[in-house]
Amino acid sequence: MRIITRTVLILSFVSLFADVASEMLYPIIPVYLKEIGFSVLWIGILEGFVNFAAGISKGYFGKLSDEKGSRLPFVKLGYFLSAISKPLIGFFTAALWIFFVRTLDRLGKGVRVAAKDALISQEATKETKARVFGFNRSLDTAGATIGPAIALVFLLYYPGEYKTLFYIAFIPGIISVLFLFLLKEKKQPASTLEKGNFFSFFRYWKIATPEYKKLVTGLLLFALFNSSDVFLLLKTKEVIGDDTIRILGTTFTSDTITIAAYVLYNLVWALGSYPLGALADKIGFKKLFLIGLLIFATVYAGFAFDPSITIIFLLFALYGIFSAATDGISKAWITNIAHNKNTATAVGFYTSCQSICTLGASTIAGFIWSNLGSSYTFIMTAAIAFFVMTYFFLSFRKN
């Protein structure tokens, strides 16, 4: 049986180009926001708010996808909204405009994510699910490696020209949308949940399996204290300060060093996703997920103590292993225990609740950073990760 189908392959290339566009901007957005007057606290609130405002829609659009028995229209619209948001961020610097454009970008993800994951899930068996999600994540993250690399090279030659990058990012974004027109789909059976209002997807909890409830509870507990990766980038910039590195005649500033570390993180994530997905299919999801959480706690503890530039790069590499060991695997785990007619609703329910938690996590992290210092932010997060590890170990002893 072919594990990577044509649909999975095309969706993975869609993810690749979309992430080239998104991740080209991701490491420079916090730097750009600080440059136009945003404080660390306001950056935390912004990131939390836009992920919440757009993320809460994931459940609604996931349930709507199940009701319609269709995935592709939601995937196409979602990627299109994200693509057009890229150049818009450079038009104005007003706070309200920045909030609007960032929300538009995240709304695109909210529209597409549950439908896309359900479409991928349909292309796999329970025995190959982690590998299929891992493959998609590997190309997705390859785009997340290429994007920052483009930004790094561009800023080496044109320091501070952030707005130009916003316009360049539109190109791979729209290419990702064009790839989707190569796909066709068969309508799936309609959702078993009744139609309802925007928040009716929360009713899925009533019919969810006990295993789904235990899994999502643990994942959301972790999400409640796992703040945006923006804080890792800000910490890197804080530690480096005015230091520079000169390699082969090229001077790397704090901006370019930060982006280079982020490129390494995504490269490790991309390379590790498929083999770790295959390992999860073999040894079980729980074991690999626990290893990932242990690595996460180690990384955050390391960032708490003002690491050297060398250690920062090592920590970002480890962080890539954590992401490869948990991201695609958590989606595979969820879709394996979800009801077949409500797969997108199950994914949407979790990702919507995750966005609510992200709002709290990023706001809390920004508040602690602003009032107590960055070290306390990372120590607290590392401690919570150990607590979540204990929960998973005790709750899934048979896995």
- Model confidence over 310-338: pLDDT tens digits? 888 999 999 999 999 998 888 888 888 87
Quick one: pLDDT band at residue 130, thresholds 50, 70, 90?
A: confident
pLDDT of residue 297: 92
- Of 109, 119, 113, residue with least CA distance to 185: 119
Asked if the structure places residue 375 within a domain, the reply is: yes
The region that residue 284 occupies, defined by phi over 0 for left and psi between -120 and 50 for alpha, beta otherwise, is: left
Average pLDDT on 32-37 reads 75
CATH code for the domain in which residue 223 is found: 1.20.1250.20
CB atoms < 10 A from the CB of 18, how many? 28
Average pLDDT on 143-170 reads 84
Asked if the structure places residue 242 within a domain, the reply is: yes
- Of 330, 66, 360, residue with least CA distance to 201: 66
Quick one: pLDDT band at residue 247, thresholds 50, 70, 90?
A: low
Asked if the structure places residue 187 within a domain, the reply is: no
Quick one: pLDDT band at residue 248, thresholds 50, 70, 90?
A: low
Asked if the structure places residue 200 within a domain, the reply is: no
**Domain count of the fold of the chain:** 1
Contact present, 187 and 368 (Cβ < 8 Å): no
- Of 141, 276, 81, 177, residue with least CA distance to 149: 141
Torsion sign, CA atoms 345, 335, 342, 10: positive
pLDDT of residue 342: 80
Average pLDDT on 149-160 reads 82
Asked if the structure places residue 199 within a domain, the reply is: no
Write down the mean pLDDT value for the chain: 83
Q: Specify the residue for token string 């590790």.
A: 272
Asked if the structure places residue 195 within a domain, the reply is: no
pLDDT of residue 245: 63
Parent domain of 227: 6-181+205-395
Quick one: pLDDT band at residue 15, thresholds 50, 70, 90?
A: very high
Average pLDDT on 373-388 reads 87
Which of 72-86, 195-209, 210-224 has the lowest average pLDDT?
195-209
- Predicted model pTM: 0.79
For 79-121, the DSSP string reads HHHHHHHHHHTTT---HHHHHHHHHHHHHHHHHHHHHHHHHHH
Asked if the structure places residue 300 within a domain, the reply is: yes
Asked if the structure places residue 295 within a domain, the reply is: yes
